[in-house]
Structure 1
Amino acid sequence: MSASGAFDVPHQAAADRYEKLEYRRTGASGLDLPALSFGLWQKFGTDYPYDTQRDILLHAFDLGITHFDNANRYGPPHRAAEKTFGQVLRKDLAPYRDELILSTKAGNPIGPSPYQRGGSRKSLLTSLDHSLRDLGTDYVDIFYSHSPDPTTPLEETVGALASAVTSGKALYVGLSNYAPERAHEAAVLLREAGVPLLVHQPRYSLFDRRPELGGLVELAERDGFGLVVYSPLAQGLLTDKYLTGTVPESARARNSTFLSPDVIDDTYRERATALNELARERGQSLAQLALQWVLRLPQVTSALIGASSTWQLDHNVRALDFPPFTEEELILIDKHGVHGTAVQV
């Protein structure tokens, strides 16, 4: 019985789910990912109703989103998002496990123990075992080092990632939030270990262009890994939510540690309003323009999106339906999508 009191019926996936999304090859691998992947970073902890979470996840799969991105840190509390997805997997998506790409991460702090943080073999592989238990699966498709740990030899971190694959607990490995130089070193070590780096997960948006400015995009091409970018909407700044200058009561800027109302200033509003006007002329929303923009690069395999409703999910997926940007439109976007706008970089 669900939280609403109704008896649960196992989900029957939409028969046309593979006709709705573009799939892209991930770097030099043989793996295809949907152009839009679903991230459980926020709103999938115990502070949101399970029935709503379940509806969103199942609707995402029906739309052709096969990649679900998680981490031991996601909640609140930590590990709650993995448990939420594990419950949906067990009750609804178990028959479709072979069609899912499940990813998780370890390395960011999740507790007071020295073994609950960092890039040591102990930390990463113990966390992976916990994630498999919480997700209720024998393996994850992608296991990430969530962030670099300068206090641990890179060889040890890379060795742990490689062990995850050779032990059968992961099919591929990834990095997240690594600077290009460190990512290249890791890619070389992984290649030598016979476990090529599949993917790197950086933050990337119109207001945070570090992947293109710092060389990560070019590195992905040279080292043969794909990019799965997160925060393509800059925590909601690349939507119409804040264009009036006020911060709605339910807005993320009021209750998030990642976004402060202080950044919603006149400069931000001027630039976001100009981008919104261009989007309106194209017949799309600012959010759809922002998603389409990060996906313009062939090195970007997928953009991570979240959702608080199935309507929002439908809206964001429609970003893939619009024609490519013209050269004139890209020039305008570059004029107003200025790196560092309202974002701490």
Structure 2
Amino acid sequence: MLTMDQRKLGASELVVPALGTDVASWGDKQAGYGTSHTREDILQTYRLCLDTGLTFFDTAEPYPASERLLGECLKVDHRPILIASKFAPPLTRFSRKRSLLDALDQSLARLEIKQIDLYQIHWPSPRLKVEELMDVLAEAVHAGKIRAVGVSNYSAPLLRQAHARLAQHEIALASNQVRYNLLHRYPETNGVLDACRELQVALIAYNPLEKGILTGKYRSQETSAPRQLNIFHRLDPFGDTRGSTPAVKRLLSPPRVLQRERLEPLFVVLEEIARTRKKTSAQVALNWLLMKDECVIPIPGAKNARQARENAGALGWQLTEEEHGRISQAEIASR
């Protein structure tokens, strides 16, 4: 029987915590590894995650250092965990569907395990058909190298294609990992959330705190958002707003999520509810996302024990419908 803090990974046999941990930044020097956090910090983070029931970790083969560190943690602390990784299809004409199996073997070697719980396609391939990739993933399932199949950054139509192809192999599509948070609600309007509900596919929400913006860390005039964050929002990878906003306008005007005066009323509401609940604004924002639908599984990052502890504090309680509605309306008013 599931508890309130557990979720089914779609129609697969896997049951995971309602909140996972994104470990892509582990070992990433650009994210501060070796300066702001060390291998020992990562091990402490890992142990604290397990102590608080956060046993679901998400990484990917483009982040080999992350996979190695996660494997090292698993060797030091032998408690059982669930691991998700991803295959990043090459973006060149040299793409081969068999390269997925090579990448999978390399991930297994870095993690030092024999089977990955959830293996996902990192993004749609411009060269390889959805059906080709699903066929190879099915082969990996039957070979015992992965337990469940997922995709990432897939639109609703691509999600349906993947689901239908896997069904021919009698395999359920377990998940679609997309960017989803209080400031980035496109899965609610672009058909992705509806398709996940209909097909019994888990929606794994990456960037659930919008790269730290929803923690309030850039709320002060004294704290500027890093340049790469500004560029990320202006370029809008994976095209959620490209259809409605001309490229020149996106590049020349500051994104809404970095306009303090527009977001301040939303932060006031988050702060008021957080104070009443004896929580942080980040925990309130994560709980808001958890309450959107039982198929949603946010995966905030954590590079130190403090962040892991704060993430865990989003579980074990629920916003009221009135509180949830206030937050939703405050976000809509900021657009």
Q: TM-score range by the shorter chain?
A: 0.7 to 0.9
1:22 CA displacement: 1.8
Aligned partners of 2:74 and 2:334: how far apart in 1?
Answer: 38
Residues 272-317 of structure 1, C-alpha deviations (whole Å, 9 max, x = no match):
3343333334332210111001111334342102123212211221
> In the alignment, does 2:321 pair up with 1:332?
no
Match of 1:52 among 38, 41, 64: 41
CA contact under 8 A between 1:208 and 1:339: conserved in structure 2?
A: no
Of residues 304, 312, 319, the one that matches 2:307 is: 312
Instruction: Pick closer, same or farther for the CA change 1:53–1:295 going to 2, 3 Å.
Output: same
Distance in 1 (CA, whole Å) between partners of 2:219 and 2:66 is 31
Is 1:85 aligned to residue 79 of structure 2? no
Query: Which of 291, 294, 318 is the aligned partner of 1:296?
Result: 291
SS in 2 for 1:229: strand
Q: Which residue of 1 aligns with 2:248?
A: none
**Distance verdict in 2 for CA 1:270–1:246, change over 3 Å:** farther
Give the Cα separation in 1 of the matches to 2:296 and 2:264.
30
Matched, 1:107 2:102: no
1:262 offset after TM fit, Å? 4.9
Aligned length: 305
Distance 1:189 1:340 in 2: 40
The residue number in structure 2 matching 1:157 is 133
1:195 deviation in Å?
1.7
Give the SS at the match of 1:185.
Answer: helix
Aligned to 2:15: 32
RMSD over aligned CA atoms reads: 2.6
Could you tell me whether the CA contact under 8 Å between 1:207 and 1:340 is conserved in 2?
Answer: no
Residues 8 and 295, structure 2, Cα contact 8 Å, conserved in 1? no
Q: Which residue of 1 aligns with 2:318?
A: 323
Distance 1:243 1:204, change over 3 A: same
Q: Secondary structure at the match of 1:163?
A: helix
The secondary structure found in structure 1 opposite 2:57 is strand
Q: Please state if 1:286 is matched with 2:281.
A: yes
Alignment-mate amino acid for residue 81 of structure 1: S
- Alignment partner, residue 241 of structure 2: none
Identify the residue that residue 122 of structure 1 maps to in structure 2: 98
Alpha-carbon displacement from aligned partner over 1:220-245 (angstroms, at most 9, x marks no partner): 12212212211111111111212223
Residue 118 (structure 2) pairs with residue 142 (structure 1): yes
**Contact 1:209–1:339, Cα closer than 8 Å, also in 2:** no
TM-score with structure 2 setting the length:
0.83
Asked whether the equivalents of residues 73 and 108 of structure 1 are also in contact (C-alpha less than 8 Å), the reply is: no
Change (3 A) 1:339 1:320: farther
In structure 2, the residue matched to 1:200 is 176
Tell me whether 1:237 sits opposite 2:218 in the alignment. Answer: no
Q: Which string of whole-angstrom CA distances, capped at 9 and with x for unpartnered residues, describes residues 155-189 of structure 1?
A: 11111111111111101110010001110111000
- Given that 1:146 and 1:176 are in contact with CA atoms closer than 8 Å, whether structure 2 keeps it comes out as yes
Give TM-score scaled by structure 1 length. Answer: 0.80
Counterparts of 1:9-28 in structure 2, within 5 Å, are 22-28=5-11
Distance 1:21 1:59, change over 3 A: farther
Distance 1:218 1:21 in 2: 22
1:228 paired to 2:209: no
Does the C-alpha gap of structure 1 residues 61 and 307 become closer, same or farther in structure 2, counting only changes over 3 Å? same
Task: Report SS of the residue matched to 2:303.
Answer: coil
Question: Partners of 1:186 and 1:55 in 2: how far apart?
Answer: 38
Q: Distance in 2 between matches of 1:101 and 1:301?
A: 17
Q: Compared with structure 1, are the counterparts of its residues 38 and 179 closer, same or farther at alpha carbon in structure 2 (3 Å cutoff)?
A: same
Structure 1 residue matching 2:179: 3-state secondary structure: coil
Per-residue deviation, 1:34: 0.3
Q: Compare 165-174 and 300-309 and name the one that shifted more.
A: 300-309
Return the match for 1:42 from 2, 5, 25: 25
Residue 143 of structure 1, CA deviation: 0.6
Q: Is the 8 A contact 1:207 1:234 kept in 2?
A: yes
- Larger RCO: 1 or 2 (CA < 8 Å, sep 6+): 2
List runs of 5+ in structure 1 lacking aligned partners: 1-19
Letter in 1 for 2:54: I
**Identical aligned pairs, as a percentage?**
29
